Structure 1
Amino acid sequence: MSDFALVRQPVFGGTGSLIGYDIRFSSVDGPGSFAQSFLSGTFDLVRNRLPAFVSTTREQFIADAYLVAEPGSVIVMLPASLAPDAEMNEAIARFTAAGGKLGLDEVGAAPAPAEAFLPHVSWVRIDSRSGGAATINAICDRVTHSKGNPKLVASHVEELDQYEATLERGFDGFQGTFFSRPEPLPAADMPQSTVAAMRLMGMARDQKISDHQLEDVIATDPVLTFQLLRLVNSAALGGRGVASIGQALRLIGRSAFLRWLAVAVAAARKSTNGVDQELVRQAVERGRLCEQLVGSGRDAGTLFLVGLFSLLDAVFRMPLDEILERVVLSAEATEALIDRTGPYADAINFAESYELGLFENASEIAKEMGVDPSKVGEYYTNAITWTAEALGAVLESQDAAAAR
């Protein structure tokens, strides 16, 4: 058990590419949270070889907590309220001499004490809720006239007009809930194999449906058959030499079959756009995170599907009720997804709170669900690791199917 919890939130570039992650910590150990995560390997796992924007305190920074990291892997964000003094100036000199990169965090409309550090910073994060276009432009003019000529990140981007205003101004990075709930497109549709996979998900939940009946349905779609056989033969499932869907079901069971089928559905949303790719990753991670919240007797398979489906409207650009028309979920799962009621609704509320870095709220929900709050940080990093392996296996099978 670790003494810290962390969560990552994507930072996108102007073209929709993923340029890094904002990593936020909650810790009972205070200043030691970053060091613990780095030494345990969790930090590098979560940042996924991309730069990490990490907010700091004065105590952490003057203690040289970030010098353990590889130069360039961390962009240390200094609080806007931080005033310069001899200790800070010396710490900045040590950090930048070692190749470290600095930023200013959440700069607002009023000039802040930490703007004295502008000549040394590479990034400035500006709250897009600070005001209208004129206010945002004034902030940008103030901070970009410094000798450092920093790049700009817009935080708390929640609406289209905020994104458009900061994009037009020339911001270099963007983060916020706007990117995890794109406007659904009613005319959008799914690949036929995806529709078949979703239909199979509904059938596989019904214990009255035999393995032989499932195999007959899968056999009508050669692409899906090939993908699933490649998937269950992958290293992620132990490379068991599975030769048929029926054999796969007998070896791994319905629950694992359902889970892998659900991952294949999410991964079917192919795109070179970093926002879309991150949405798929987040949907699968949320499914795996929710699956581990079984403290009060909830079904793990239903928890996984509820978590994953809670983001499929954004993944497929379709209203959720239209997606659910294509797959038969349990009444409890449907209630959680559509009405946010019933025994599985708390799992979605927990995941959303945790992903936003609202750790106290997430802990309270976990307690109410009968889950040990001290375990949720471990569950989150488990979800990231599992998703990387699962999506890798699924995408490999899809690429192989496309090459045939």
Structure 2
Amino acid sequence: MDPLSSAQARGEAKPPVSPHTRFVARQPILTKEEKVFGYELLFRDGVEDYFRATDPDAASRNTLDSSILLGLDVLCGGQRAFINCTREVLLKDYMTLLPPNQAVAEILESVPGDDLVKAACARLKEAGFMIALDDFMPNDARESLTEFADIIKVDIRQVPVAEQAAMIKRYGPWRSRLLAEKVETRQEFLEARKAGFVYFQGYFFRRPELMTARDIPANRINYLRMLQAVSKPELDSREIEGVIKSEASICYRLLRYLNSAVFGFPSEIHSVRHALSILGEREVRRWVRLIATLGAGQGKSSELVLSALVRARFCELLAGKVPHGSSDLFLMGLLSLMDAILEISMPEVLDNVPLDQETKAVLSGAASPLRPLYQLMLARESGEWQDTGHLTRSMRLSESEVAEVYWQAMQWARQVNSE
């Protein structure tokens, strides 16, 4: 049973969300402990269009549009939203449409540090906003804006290590906190953290820290066994009940989920066997996979598990619109990050979970009829708008349809992950 569908069936209305919000992607910004600090938002049509569409009347800026708040909540889950600011966005005070405790004004490298921009920065600081300088370089033309900067972002691919060290010494830690951008490997993360960077942006957290078989904790093996049990062609309810009961936290979480208001079952579900009998085969497969993923992700970055859930739901919602044979698209999306979640290699994941050939091929990087959907999933997630448009058209889908489905997937993942 789908929690969002259940809520809608009970007539719980949601306030409208600005249509432009659906064409926004995000990149996580993590702390030294790999906790989510915020997200940089990537606007397909440019940040100016987003604000203009939301607030066409400058006189109404003192009344915050609820659609912006709802959009930020789904996109960022209560964490800070880093908004790319052009000169126009700054001078027109568009940022004041957003709550200062939820938004960071990220000033782009193309913005000059002139008197008008400095005055706009002073207004933002007075209103309680944090300010970040994007892609800051040695001898940057925005040097005059560093007095306003709470965060300075440094592209570690563009700035040599010696220059990085000099910038950390000059601007941090008392003046500003430095953020390392384009951190793509765990080694780069560890080196940047040691050098003195405070925040980190990039997809390093999606790359697994590979463990040998003997090092994999027993509970992680249990999660793998759960995925094995529910991926077999014929379900064995006793086997599934056994693997769920072997992990107390998973057993508790499954029963807590199913007894929450989101499902609205008329009577309390009091045992694993009772839950399995009520759910039915399709939902047993789906929810045990979900529970196993959430359990396996404990102790990992919350963004990793959330991304896996969004991918799974996105692919599932498109299942009726794209040819996929007998492949389970929810499982395909979920397993796409299972190597990083379980900290084992993808070949090892694929060896342990029974899968059809098409799904196995696409997850291993081989040719597969599912590849266009898989590529669309990745492009939409990372805000590669040109690739998203091309793939959408090649699959005979509309961009608005894909945007709506991705938005629904994010809402669903947020709700499931908060239960």
| Shorter-chain TM band | 0.7 to 0.9
Which of 75, 79, 96 is the matching residue for 2:125? 96
* Equivalent runs, 1:10-29 vs 2, <5 Å: 10-27=28-45
Shift of 1:229: 4.5
* Equivalent runs, 1:132-281 vs 2, <5 Å: 132-141=160-169, 143-144=171-172, 149-187=175-213, 188-189=216-217, 191=219, 193-203=222-232, 206=233, 209=234, 214-221=236-243, 222-223=245-246, 228-241=254-267, 242=269, 252-273=279-300, 275=301, 277-281=302-306
2: CA distance, partners of 1:166 / 1:286 = 29
Give the aligned length. 381
* Match in the other structure for 2:61: none
TM-score (norm 2): 0.81
Identity between Structure 1 and Structure 2 (%): 25
CA contact (8 A) 2:168 2:196 kept: no
Q: For residue 220 of structure 1, give the secondary structure of its aligned residue in structure 2.
A: helix
Residue 81 (structure 1) aligned with residue 110 (structure 2): yes
* Equivalent runs, 1:33-48 vs 2, <5 Å: 33=51, 36=54, 39-40=66-67, 41-48=70-77
1: CA distance, partners of 2:35 / 2:322 = 40
Residue identity matched to 2:155: D
Which of 91, 94, 115 is the matching residue for 2:143? 115
Are the structure 2 counterparts of residues 306 and 34 from structure 1 closer, same or farther at C-alpha, using a change threshold of 3 Å?
A: farther
* Match in the other structure for 1:282: 307
Are the structure 2 counterparts of residues 225 and 300 from structure 1 closer, same or farther at C-alpha, using a change threshold of 3 Å?
A: farther
For residues 185-237 of structure 1, give each alpha carbon's deviation from its aligned partner in whole angstroms, at most 9, with x where no partner exists. 2332552542332122212xx2xx3xxx6323234343566654544343333
Residue 351 (structure 1) aligned with residue 377 (structure 2): yes
Residue identity matched to 2:295: A
Shift of 1:158: 1.4
1: CA distance, partners of 2:326 / 2:95 = 38
* Match in the other structure for 1:396: none
CA contact (8 A) 1:104 1:115 kept: no
Are the structure 2 counterparts of residues 255 and 347 from structure 1 closer, same or farther at C-alpha, using a change threshold of 3 Å?
A: farther
1: CA distance, partners of 2:368 / 2:143 = 49
Q: Any gaps of 5 or more consecutive residues in structure 2?
A: 1-17, 56-64
For residues 48-68 of structure 1, give each alpha carbon's deviation from its aligned partner in whole angstroms, at most 9, with x where no partner exists. 112222211111221111112
CA contact (8 A) 2:230 2:240 kept: no
Are the structure 2 counterparts of residues 92 and 382 from structure 1 closer, same or farther at C-alpha, using a change threshold of 3 Å?
A: same
Residue 320 (structure 1) aligned with residue 360 (structure 2): no
Are the structure 2 counterparts of residues 246 and 166 from structure 1 closer, same or farther at C-alpha, using a change threshold of 3 Å?
A: closer
* Match in the other structure for 1:399: none
Which of 130, 137, 154 is the matching residue for 1:126? 154
1: CA distance, partners of 2:98 / 2:76 = 12
* Match in the other structure for 2:336: 310
Are the structure 2 counterparts of residues 143 and 269 from structure 1 closer, same or farther at C-alpha, using a change threshold of 3 Å?
A: same
Residue identity matched to 2:353: V
For residues 233-258 of structure 1, give each alpha carbon's deviation from its aligned partner in whole angstroms, at most 9, with x where no partner exists. 43333334356767756755433332
2: CA distance, partners of 1:342 / 1:308 = 17
Are the structure 2 counterparts of residues 70 and 28 from structure 1 closer, same or farther at C-alpha, using a change threshold of 3 Å?
A: closer
Q: Any gaps of 5 or more consecutive residues in structure 1?
A: 394-404
Shift of 1:98: 1.1
Q: For residue 217 of structure 1, give the secondary structure of its aligned residue in structure 2.
A: helix
* Match in the other structure for 1:2: 19
For residues 331-355 of structure 1, give each alpha carbon's deviation from its aligned partner in whole angstroms, at most 9, with x where no partner exists. 1111111134212222222222222
2: CA distance, partners of 1:307 / 1:23 = 22
For residues 348-368 of structure 1, give each alpha carbon's deviation from its aligned partner in whole angstroms, at most 9, with x where no partner exists. 222222222212212222222
Shift of 1:161: 4.2
Which of 312, 325, 330 is the matching residue for 2:356? 330
C-alpha RMSD of the superposition: 2.9
